[in-house]
Structure 1
């Protein structure tokens, strides 16, 4: 499907195309020339020191082709120096992971000759992206040809051109042969073995590999609950007073798997060299706005925005908006209960097959409405978080995640909490949970599996028609120009946010109320298995290749899952306290039952907190290796200072 130029990795002229830079078709010529010169100029003169070539020199092949498409690469030495600047970790001869340095390059395990093949293409593309993002204005006051596109010393050129619409997109190219090998081992054959996480990391980077690692881990962690849940479901269909044991198992399960995942992710991050990697200083995000001033840390000129104004926007606008959306979600939930009551009254008055079917209709409609509301709210939350004007991308993401999680949690689970603890109707709780879970999974599979597959087939047919028009018979391998056309039209992968959000909601369905519907774990396992294949297919054939991003863990999502597990402790303890089997021990005093339930819940939360501190996040043998590396670094620094000290 995708063509990487020649087996040697270049196009025959010593140039390896790594990244595509596409400017607007009507971009001013002086702006295009200025940017390409900036990319190719040496670092000493303020450039990136990279190689750049125009895809279509002179005129494009067809009228629809954009002439302002450029391929960017870099010499081997330039990429190695970039790896050193970024502090990329590579495997040392002694098996440890160390930050790469050009002076010490011969001591790294895979460095042979002049370093050909030492860096993966994903690492090279990440280095090129970093160098492009590091292009900054010096004495320029505006982008040539665009008087209103203001610049100031230190301003990121790429970000300014993107915000003004002069630069359309920047994306890395796929590697045809490696992608074919990865596709075959990843999703093209049905297997029970684990995913090729190391190959995924090598091709897409640590961030995406950790997502697929967590998806795989979560799926296997659900298997014990699914195995326990099937016989429980078959033999205790109507015995809702016997779910105490399953709820207890649920409490232990959701606590242990998250602690074990932290150790598993730390092991992977150490093997990939990101566990001890120093975090780079964060630059202002592209959409950050403010009055020009001096950054007190870097001393560079950049926009400054008062934190007080940001806090006012958050607490006077964003918080009330979220509360209003929660109220709207509550109103929709009450409408759902009115519909549910109406359907049940019809069924009770004259029970037939059709009235039985009708009792499920309100839950299905409500599940669809929930998905639509989540989608609309997501766009509103993104707009609102951008309007808050956060300086750092990490701060922006944290505020966005918090807004989306609060609404999605309330929107998806409020009705279940109401049924469980206000109505105390376990039959209706089981039915609602099953309907919400199954409906949401069907909608997600349609959107994530069938729709992307249809789009990919349609895109491939379109490209084949173009190829037949240009060549008869069509070439055996896709030319580079066709590869760029194909990938430029692909959807842009927006990151793992939506993928983690889906797993977060599934984790909630399983951990909060699955004791009344034990098949929830089974359904989530089946969903996750198909999720692996659909996500793998999308990454290989639907989305543009994303830039690799170093990551040591799943970030703020770890806290989100842990918060859900705390809520699960409270929920399951309350369900246990409501069980007729437990109530029979306190026939005369409901207050005593509540006190005992609260005491057990507090005890379990204390035990959970103790386990968090007792179980180390990083395995002992990895802690030892990290401590040894730190000791060796300190010793090397001491020797260097002794050698540099003047002789008395």
Structure 2
């Protein structure tokens, strides 16, 4: 405990005690000492929980401890793999990977000490359990009681400023082991074998992470490591698809037609904006068509199907991995026994009404009227902020529509007849897309910073009952906001851009304003613009996130400990060093999950537009694991250990994103389906020859109104209106003079039907794979089921024998 006032530490007890905390009427804490920092203003109270305290609360919390060595051998060991030496570089020493033997465990019972395997009471409870017990007591210890109010909890004292902070100490300095040979240096081992970047190819010491930081942090790193491993397969397939597109340039018939002087050079395209845009030749988009082919080819369809299967396998195999961890870390049935019955101190403090609970008897509760009012206000706030995001996205779209004409006017003198000139690389479409993506990214970052505070405030206002409920409510609010914030611009490009354009002579305008004509896609498709959007937002977020996670804590720690560094190390105590570190906070892990789940959305929802996205995510996550490890071991105070049997609400969010990704991947983003429809239904020789001409409709220039017609001087010098009487545009419509003039052709409806059919087929394939995997590979491995049954049987048998031979 850290405080500024010399008498503050004495108030956290009953009866005016000076050297013990006694919320249960007896001495349960011992004060190891009260020290003052070098500035003579900050005081430290070191608290130690003796064996009696630990045993009492281990019984209360039903903490599982070993009572017998596990007699069921694993049926599979990595050492049994042929050519085992290949895996040696990826392993860590046994003393790091397996800090504890494998035991059967049972909930601790203070009255049956002899039943458990207790060699040394000082080390029987691991560090994470010890600091969890201490914090559990402090969070419920009363310090002021009146007829009207019962004040309790270290959290309340921290909020009102009585104490500055309360944290468990690290066991040693991270760069060298403890001087005490009898004391373990787990922090040093974690830094040496886990937190250093050059260990990126090594396995993670999950058991040691769990022992030092607790199960909740341990399961996060287990999930992150498993996700990173699975990304390797997606990254390899995505890279192969990208290389396929790169090496099949010469087979790209439609790009050759666009770049050809005989075909693309003779196709005159209609203006892309009113008045300020002139007529242009199709071959001016030669470079963008080649670039689009790298991401939009036959491999795109295959990769989209593969990712639908991959995401299903990832979620199913993670359930098995999670089930194994639940057993190994004694988390089976934890949620029901612990999290659903433990009320948040804030809930107990703010809810003054009482009612009967059949499980916990009398407990505080929030009246229904108050609960409904708070929920309504919370929902209204979330809707307001989501509306604000949508308004910002509409603003960015309006920017795209407004500046496109300006870019087109500026670039009208660019040499478009030479596909190798730099001017043809920087097209109005590309300039508009890049600048709009950068502006959108800045808006995303600003709104994120603002909404984080709002989300925490409205969640606190709802007064959730348990810690689990609090995290779930905050998770839903934050993800819903982040989903709209990060993905809305990508959804616009993938699903709306180029879909509501109208046609020459009858264009559609945003809000009916004649200066904001809806955007058209490049003749090569909108996919390259979606790729640009995805690369900028995804890469920018990952770079910004790593800078925030690594650089900001380091700078703040360097600044905060600048005075202490001038003193000899002997005068810079362990508690002062830890106090100068950053506080991890109870939402620290929440932001780590949120970052990874948003990344998961990028690589599943729109991965067909950018097959290299899994590779970028893989490289980022390899760094992310070590950056997070480095943060925990060097830059943050040791967090209070807590339990979690799973990744919580994030599991359902991942399932929802996986289902949505089936719809978004190929159907309306890629142009492969229109090409396949042309090849099999409209091509005479099952080739792509003539596809470009087939995909462009014809419009009579005389049909342009004055509002649409290019101004004098805007069209290029080669354009002669007396010779050129028609222009082409991207759509499937009947030409002028046809009985269904400018209405959609049958080919348009065939393509739409093919896209819808692909959605249904791919959805069914994904679900069939999901059910097949779930049927073939159950969520809980048979080995784990056998161990759980064996453990329960032994507990019953051993307790029976214990009662017979050692009666009370």
Q: Which residue does 1:214 correspond to in 2?
A: 223
In the alignment, the residues of structure 1 paired with residue 110 and residue 364 of structure 2 have an alpha-carbon distance, to the nearest angstrom, of 35
In the alignment, the residues of structure 1 paired with residue 219 and residue 142 of structure 2 have an alpha-carbon distance, to the nearest angstrom, of 32
In the alignment, the residues of structure 2 paired with residue 49 and residue 506 of structure 1 have an alpha-carbon distance, to the nearest angstrom, of 46
- The offset of 1:341, in angstroms, is 4.1
Q: Which residue does 1:74 correspond to in 2?
A: 49
Aligned partners of 1:378 and 1:404 also within 8 Å: yes
Within-5 A mapping of 1:421-432: 421-423=495-497, 425-432=526-533
Please say which of residues 359-368 and 520-529 is displaced more in the overlay.
359-368
Q: Which residue does 1:101 correspond to in 2?
A: 109
- The offset of 1:186, in angstroms, is 0.9
SS at match of 1:251: helix
- The offset of 1:166, in angstroms, is 2.7
- The offset of 1:86, in angstroms, is 2.0
Please, which runs of 5 or more residues in structure 2 have no aligned partner? 71-103, 178-184, 246-290, 415-422, 499-525, 682-746
- The offset of 1:26, in angstroms, is 7.5
Q: Which residue does 1:399 correspond to in 2?
A: 473
SS at match of 2:167: strand
Please say which of residues 626-635 and 226-235 is displaced more in the overlay.
626-635
In the alignment, the residues of structure 2 paired with residue 115 and residue 641 of structure 1 have an alpha-carbon distance, to the nearest angstrom, of 23
Q: Which residue does 1:364 correspond to in 2?
A: 438
Within-5 A mapping of 1:90-489: 90-95=65-70, 96-102=104-110, 105=113, 108=116, 111-112=118-119, 114-136=120-142, 140-141=145-146, 151-152=149-150, 156-176=152-172, 177=177, 178=185, 179-188=187-196, 190-191=198-199, 192-236=201-245, 237-239=291-293, 240-242=296-298, 243-277=300-334, 279-280=337-338, 281-286=341-346, 289-297=350-358, 303-314=364-375, 316-342=376-402, 344-345=404-405, 346=407, 349-351=412-414, 352=423, 359-423=433-497, 425-465=526-566, 467=567, 474-476=568-570, 478-480=572-574, 482-483=576-577, 485-487=579-581
- The offset of 1:359, in angstroms, is 4.8
Within-5 A mapping of 1:42-61: 45=25, 47=26, 49-56=28-35, 60=36
In the alignment, the residues of structure 1 paired with residue 15 and residue 544 of structure 2 have an alpha-carbon distance, to the nearest angstrom, of 44
SS at match of 1:567: helix
Larger Rg: 2
SS at match of 1:184: helix
Alignment partner for residue 583 of structure 1, among 661, 677, 702?
Answer: 677
Please say which of residues 208-217 and 89-98 is displaced more in the overlay.
89-98
SS at match of 1:263: helix
Greater helix fraction, Structure 1 or Structure 2 = 1
1:208–1:521 CA distance, 2 compared to 1 (3 A):
same
- The offset of 1:223, in angstroms, is 1.0
SS at match of 1:386: helix
1:597 matches 2:658: no
Q: Which residue does 2:268 correspond to in 1?
A: none
- The offset of 1:342, in angstroms, is 4.8
Please, which runs of 5 or more residues in structure 1 have no aligned partner? 1-20, 143-149, 468-473
SS at match of 1:90: strand
In the alignment, the residues of structure 1 paired with residue 326 and residue 413 of structure 2 have an alpha-carbon distance, to the nearest angstrom, of 61
Deviations 1:210-248 (A, max 9, x none): 111111111111111111222322342533242110100
- The offset of 1:524, in angstroms, is 0.9
Aligned partners of 1:583 and 1:593 also within 8 Å: yes
Deviations 1:134-160 (A, max 9, x none): 32479x317xxxxxxx633xx634344
In the alignment, the residues of structure 1 paired with residue 205 and residue 804 of structure 2 have an alpha-carbon distance, to the nearest angstrom, of 47
In the alignment, the residues of structure 2 paired with residue 295 and residue 411 of structure 1 have an alpha-carbon distance, to the nearest angstrom, of 43
Q: Which residue does 2:780 correspond to in 1?
A: 618
SS at match of 1:97: strand
Aligned partners of 1:163 and 1:286 also within 8 Å: no
Aligned partners of 1:244 and 1:576 also within 8 Å: no
- The offset of 1:491, in angstroms, is 5.6
Aligned partners of 1:368 and 1:440 also within 8 Å: no
Please say which of residues 218-227 and 633-642 is displaced more in the overlay.
633-642
SS at match of 2:337: coil
CA RMSD, Structure 1 to Structure 2 (Å)? 3.2
- The offset of 1:605, in angstroms, is 5.4
- The offset of 1:392, in angstroms, is 2.3
In the alignment, the residues of structure 2 paired with residue 640 and residue 137 of structure 1 have an alpha-carbon distance, to the nearest angstrom, of 41
- The offset of 1:349, in angstroms, is 2.7
With the length of structure 1 as denominator, give the TM-score of the two structures.
0.84
- The offset of 1:297, in angstroms, is 4.2
Q: Which residue does 2:667 correspond to in 1?
A: 574
Aligned partners of 1:284 and 1:392 also within 8 Å: yes
- The offset of 1:501, in angstroms, is 0.4
In the alignment, the residues of structure 2 paired with residue 309 and residue 299 of structure 1 have an alpha-carbon distance, to the nearest angstrom, of 22
Deviations 1:420-442 (A, max 9, x none): 12225112111111111111112
Q: Which residue does 1:87 correspond to in 2?
A: 62
- The offset of 1:163, in angstroms, is 4.5
Aligned partners of 2:674 and 2:751 also within 8 Å: no
- The offset of 1:541, in angstroms, is 2.1
- The offset of 1:30, in angstroms, is 6.6
Alignment partner for residue 652 of structure 2, among 559, 562, 569?
Answer: 559
Aligned partners of 2:170 and 2:578 also within 8 Å: no
In the alignment, the residues of structure 1 paired with residue 236 and residue 778 of structure 2 have an alpha-carbon distance, to the nearest angstrom, of 29
1:339–1:262 CA distance, 2 compared to 1 (3 A):
same
Alignment partner for residue 768 of structure 2, among 607, 613, 627?
Answer: 607
